[in-house]
Amino acid sequence: MGANHEENSLRYRRAQSVTTAEEITEKEKRARRSQFDRPCHKPRDSLFSWTSEFTNFTGLVNWGFLMLTIGGLRLCLENFLKYGIRVNPFEWIIVLTGYNEGKNYQYPSIILLMYSVVPAVISLLIEKAIAADLFTQKLGVTLQIINLLTEISLPVIVLNFSNQEFSFVGITTVCMIYLVIFLKLWSYCQTNHWCRNGTRTKKSKSLRRQSLSAPNSKNSDHEKTDDMMGIVKYPDNLNLRDLLYFLLAPTLCYELNFPRTTRIRKRFLIKRIVEVIFGMNLILALFQQWMIPSVKNAVDPFSQMDVVRITERLLKLAVPNHLIWLCFFYLSFHSFLNLMGELLHFADRNFYNDWWNSRNIAVFWSTWNMPVHLWAVRHVYIPITEMGYGKGLAGIVVFFISAFFHEYLVSVPLQMFRVWAFLGMMAQPPLSVISKFVERKLGVRWGNIIVWSSLILGQPLAIMMYYHDYAIAHYTPK
């Protein structure tokens, strides 16, 4: 008996060896706690281990922001000492207003911006003609396609065949506005096409039911409810007021009845106005003081194909470029779109999702720009799959269209055709496959690192290549 008691004491004195902390059973825990040695240890993982489930890193986040602030201040002082103060708001006013464009103060960019309403009105007139049976549907669709292609091609035609001088900022703004109107009119025409077909199908079914039996009371009650709630139906939506509201609304997808808010929040509106004014000045100052010198200094390394210096320039340019991109994202998708939504009582404010947590490239492209993502899914991806084609082909078509318009926004203002933006976008599907593989093999964090790496390094590389080609074409002595 004594020997057995001594054996048991020895057994309890030390816990059985285990491979992981979770394998210690409750029985062993109770046995250890019943001893007189006042145990203070329990199965626990280190806080930096992923299995610890510890998430409160607020202090480290504060430390990171403090280090970034100190590093940013040092870079600012270095920039001021090296280049002096380059910020000049009056230069931006001249460029943005087009004061230096053309001769005799014709301001070609402003004229093109004013003309951008004309294709929208033409689209409305064509839709009204189709609804009134003045045009056949086939002829109307053909005219809409011609109108859309003419609208998106107009900046290219004017820029290349006119003797007017455009500032880079002016023609870039024109191309951006014309592209937005193109996407909106595409949605406008396609949505009205759906409504037209749906209305005709509904009428034909209703006539068949009436010829066979009494009118359906449920449909009549449903129509009365819609009328009481003020629901707009096709073709009552075909008016100038409805079209102008859609052109100004912070969305690319047309609907006959947008969700509306009941009032304008004055405090919210004032905050967004202040953010837009401050954000625009901050971006322009960063671009003028920090971005332009870094880009100019990258020309020689690219010309000499010096890999080490190119890498150094790329890393140096990545910081200001990424900072400006983040400021531009907040200014555009939060401040400006919320400002427009508040003024227009537009209730759907889902302009972005948590793209910063994207676990792979595909998730990033479906979360960071929700207006474009919804447009692509609604008007390209789903129609292609409904025609019987596969999802893979539909996704490639979406990226091809996106790549084409990215190149449009760069090559047209620069007046030189390059494919760097196009190739960058077409590289996203294979990069998405790689990021998904990394996510699956190494975990979500590494997939997210791939996303951030592509954002931080990919954009400045494209900017350096475009500026190099532009400088060689325009500033190299012949």
Structural domains counted in the chain: 1
Identify whether 221 is part of a domain: no
Identify whether 147 is part of a domain: yes
Query: What integer best gives the mean pLDDT of the chain?
Result: 79
Identify whether 158 is part of a domain: yes
Rounded-to-integer distance, Cα 354 and Cα 348, Å: 16
Identify whether 252 is part of a domain: yes
Q: How far is CA 122 from CA 21, 144, 379, in A?
A: 72, 9, 21
The two structure tokens encoding residue 277? 């004014």
Identify whether 120 is part of a domain: yes
Active site residue 5: no
Summarize pLDDT for 380-437 with one digit per residue, the tens: 999 999 998 888 899 889 989 998 998 888 888 887 777 777 888 888 888 888 888 9
Summarize pLDDT for 155-196 with one digit per residue, the tens: 888 888 776 677 777 788 889 999 999 999 999 999 999 998
Rounded-to-integer distance, Cα 437 and Cα 188, Å: 39
Identify whether 319 is part of a domain: no
**Marked catalytic residue, from 41, 373, 379, 406:** 406
pLDDT at 78 over 70: yes
Rounded-to-integer distance, Cα 7 and Cα 423, Å: 74
pLDDT at 296 over 60: yes
Question: H/E element holding 156?
Answer: helix 137-161
Local confidence band at 17 (pLDDT 50, 70, 90 cut-offs) = very low
Residue 380's pLDDT is what?
A: 93
Closest CA to 130 of 194, 226, 203, 204: 194
Cβ atoms within 10 A of the Cβ of 301, count?
Answer: 19
Identify whether 3 is part of a domain: no
Identify whether 214 is part of a domain: no
If one compares 452 and 98, the residue with the highest pLDDT of the two is 452
Local confidence band at 302 (pLDDT 50, 70, 90 cut-offs) = low
Look up the domain containing 172 and give its range. Answer: 107-203+230-258
Residue 178's pLDDT is what?
A: 94
C-beta separation of 339 from 402 below 8 A: no
DSSP β-bridge partners for residue 346: 260
Summarize pLDDT for 249-261 with one digit per residue, the tens: 999 999 999 999 8
